[in-house]
Structure 1
């Protein structure tokens, strides 16, 4: 009997597993491939924690995987942690079974004598990060699958600084999870008992303004916004997620009064019925918002993903048509606005730092350099940016100003340790209002930046390979490029081959390869930590828009010819 079938039988025979779940499993008894897919492994921590399709099985998201993971987290906090009276803050988004999974996690914490602070309704992931710090909790948990398809859910874990677990901590938690071989080992209280013992404490809407004030405090031109913000007309879509109330509250706090929400996408919907994908990286996700903006004559469109940690912006181009900004473009605009504002107001520190990932555009670094601000690189995953922020706070080496990644994640200020779409929404709207006061749009400013710093163009191409065979396929692609690195790409010489699996540039070992070309272009191969994909990042820098587009097309064709 193979491992998957043996584990499948263990679930069927476990008295702690309910009959409804067992009936679901009995329904696949004659489907060996489905049994293999559900049980060949446990869900693992990736760049975004635990994430998987909802359903019964060890390789699925369900109340048992949540309970087992939480028991492992509880054992870690009690046996390996530094807090003699540990506590956990728990939040969740609009996905299927998110409230149920959040309560399950809370009751397992309570069963282990660990106080759980749980939001009474859905909240943004960055608010969780803020309240882990605010309540001086030992850890945090968010039930979310970010922008994945509707059939997914997930479980993100945060340390006591409000930062997602870095690999060393994730491995310690994973080791504790692996010690749990039966669901009978999971300790859990009933809800009434947990509440009576004050081990389950509900966080209500009366606490939200603490977070909103922290976001608003990052504004570099709050006084000017009193007159400028009311002039900007904004369309916002929360894409059926948790951003609706907090984004509007943050904009209101800064003086934005002309904010209209896409009504069809305003309310939570776990099926994300109006979009193919609830992802602000996708232009299609903005289709309704663009129609509304054209009708209302709006200046700017913003959208946030279901757990409101990613923000996408859409701006008017020279012909009046709306164009979706890439994550790199939005990041460059926010860095330029923030640093120029701080310099103008005399608030730019001598030891300021911008932090970005190795797959993020170098345009932001070029802008930061002009303002005397150093740029540091991390591996992909905002937890590494958060980790550096905590180091800065402890040793005083730098003052963190802005952190971002190309995948639409941004943070400014020290109140949280994860990307924050509420903050990003506020900052991009503030920039748009400021430049509108100068007679310019964000598109105009972006073109000025290109003329000043060069035409940086980037692209991300993904190839999806599902299931166990897909994992093997992705591994073979990485090994092919690792064993046979290219000497040139489309005639341009490769001058640096960076294998991050070797632990280079002071970073952790990670299965990522980056190739730098003689003309400054680069590309990077990286298996996704949360989805069955291999991602190919491409970047060029040229002296004109046309040149950059052509170079990007040629380099992508050359790389995909080999991969496909």
Structure 2
């Protein structure tokens, strides 16, 4: 009765009508658990699926957590300033904390983003939603750029089309780590009914292109001044949201315009040309390789659907082959060292030991972290970090997370230098 979504209400009614006991048990035998990766699961009705009810609870739990952490907020129902909250040095109440929300082009992503904005607004926080489906790194950048207290990205990254997810960042622009995950999960568990969660119909901000323009301006910091920009590329967005941002970044940098894999260039939540929208999966790069055989570029570049990962392929004899994540990670590291980069180089424990050798030879600090970019991003003095699953952080002062757009710029600069 509390489900605000006519689609999932109809889906559930059909299951009940069909007496689909096993399917109902699979959906109602528990709840989708919130962890350091947020939420991720199959779309559908029931507490063990991703749907608007589950997202509203998650957003309400996050809002409650932020308020308990002392984030300034307005009245829960009117949005007016809570004068008992934090005050600035002049003794006037601080503005309510800002939560920035981004989303990809998967099924229900925009709905989940809008629900999150409504919940944050109803909780007395400020909410701002990115103007359209954009790469996850733009959201990670926007958190720090706008001085937000938290960010939410609605995405299932490179999962199958039936999935969606809910990724949470705090104000440092990094994904959450313990104990924040457990504390947010406890607040989610405390939401007993959706009727107690205020969800106004308006009151949040839809951001303009200013934040994207600021992200693109920041990409200038990735490349060396006056470096060669001649490498020719074939690019696939893997049916995701990376194309427009990557093309804008390449144009701004002065690289030749990438040749697009047309069949995969536009966002499509059904990912019709691939069995699994992950560049590492067998067959996912076949169309990109076919395009490369026709146009003979210097590199083939792919993003995953939310463009936080970057895959690279190179000519190998008469054909093309994917570089492993550890190979790209080492190439980017060596390139940064050759440019005189200073600071800590970091990787997760599942990645190659080669990065440590590169850093050691250059006299740079090196750290290994637990698996996950949430740990790499928190390394003190981080200059470069990577994980073998195609995730690279090449500009931690801009984006404190993996970023497939800036990684593509840097590897293309390297290819230009080697031509």
* Alpha-carbon distance change, 311 to 107 in structure 1, aligned in 2, over 3 angstroms: same
* Alpha-carbon distance change, 264 to 16 in structure 1, aligned in 2, over 3 angstroms: closer
Residue 404 of structure 1 aligns to a residue whose secondary structure is: strand
CA distance in 2, matches of 1:246, 1:364: 29
How big is the shift at 1:283? 4.4
TM-score of the pair, normalised by structure 1: 0.68
Deviations 1:202-254 (A, max 9, x none): 112233121012122122x2312xxx21x311001111111111111222222
1:443-462 aligned within 5 A: none
1:469-480 aligned within 5 A: none
Q: In the alignment, which residue of structure 2 is the partner of 1:80?
A: 69
1:26 paired to 2:9: no
1:432 paired to 2:408: no
1:302-313 aligned within 5 A: 302-313=301-312
CA distance in 1, matches of 2:417, 2:136: 28
- Between 34-43 and 330-339, report the one with greater CA deviation: 34-43
How big is the shift at 1:366? 1.3
How big is the shift at 1:15? 4.6
| 8 A Cα contact 2:35 2:185, kept in partner | no
Q: In the alignment, which residue of structure 2 is the partner of 1:54?
A: 43
Query: Higher helix fraction: Structure 1 or Structure 2?
Result: 1
Residue 51 of structure 1 aligns to a residue whose secondary structure is: strand
Residue 413 of structure 2 aligns to a residue whose secondary structure is: helix
Q: Which one of the candidate residues 296, 320, 323 is aligned to 2:321?
A: 323
* Alpha-carbon distance change, 245 to 164 in structure 1, aligned in 2, over 3 angstroms: same
How big is the shift at 1:80? 2.4
CA distance in 2, matches of 1:402, 1:18: 43
Q: In the alignment, which residue of structure 2 is the partner of 1:386?
A: 377
* Alpha-carbon distance change, 15 to 294 in structure 1, aligned in 2, over 3 angstroms: closer
How big is the shift at 1:31? 2.4
* Alpha-carbon distance change, 16 to 327 in structure 1, aligned in 2, over 3 angstroms: closer
| 8 A Cα contact 2:247 2:257, kept in partner | no
Q: Which one of the candidate residues 219, 222, 225 is aligned to 1:222?
A: 225
| 8 A Cα contact 1:16 1:184, kept in partner | no
CA distance in 2, matches of 1:429, 1:17: 46
- Between 377-386 and 17-26, report the one with greater CA deviation: 17-26
Q: Which one of the candidate residues 341, 348, 363 is aligned to 1:372?
A: 363
Q: In the alignment, which residue of structure 2 is the partner of 1:267?
A: 266
How big is the shift at 1:20? 4.8
CA distance in 1, matches of 2:181, 2:23: 28
Q: Which one of the candidate residues 407, 413, 421 is aligned to 2:389?
A: 407
1:477-496 aligned within 5 A: none
How big is the shift at 1:285? 1.5
* Alpha-carbon distance change, 292 to 32 in structure 1, aligned in 2, over 3 angstroms: same
- Between 23-32 and 201-210, report the one with greater CA deviation: 23-32
Q: In the alignment, which residue of structure 2 is the partner of 1:135?
A: 146
Q: Tell me the number of residue pairs that the alignment of Structure 1 and Structure 2 aligns.
A: 394
How big is the shift at 1:19? 5.7
**4+ aligned runs moved over 4 Å, structure 1:** 15-20
**Please, which runs of 5 or more residues in structure 1 have no aligned partner?**
1-13, 195-199, 343-347, 393-398, 437-564
* Alpha-carbon distance change, 20 to 302 in structure 1, aligned in 2, over 3 angstroms: closer
* Alpha-carbon distance change, 254 to 180 in structure 1, aligned in 2, over 3 angstroms: same
Q: In the alignment, which residue of structure 2 is the partner of 1:362?
A: 353
Residue 88 of structure 1 aligns to a residue whose secondary structure is: strand
Residue 141 of structure 1 aligns to a residue whose secondary structure is: strand
| 8 A Cα contact 1:94 1:240, kept in partner | no
1:17-416 aligned within 5 A: 20-29=7-16, 30-83=19-72, 84=86, 85-191=96-202, 194=203, 200-219=204-223, 221-224=224-227, 228-229=228-229, 231-317=230-316, 319-342=317-340, 348-349=341-342, 352-388=343-379, 392=380, 399-413=381-395, 414-416=397-399
Q: CA RMSD in A?
A: 1.5
Deviations 1:73-122 (A, max 9, x none): 11111122444422100000111111111111111111112111101211
- Which of the pair has the greater relative contact order for Cα pairs under 8 Å at 6+ separation? 2
How big is the shift at 1:258? 3.9
Q: In the alignment, which residue of structure 2 is the partner of 1:477?
A: none
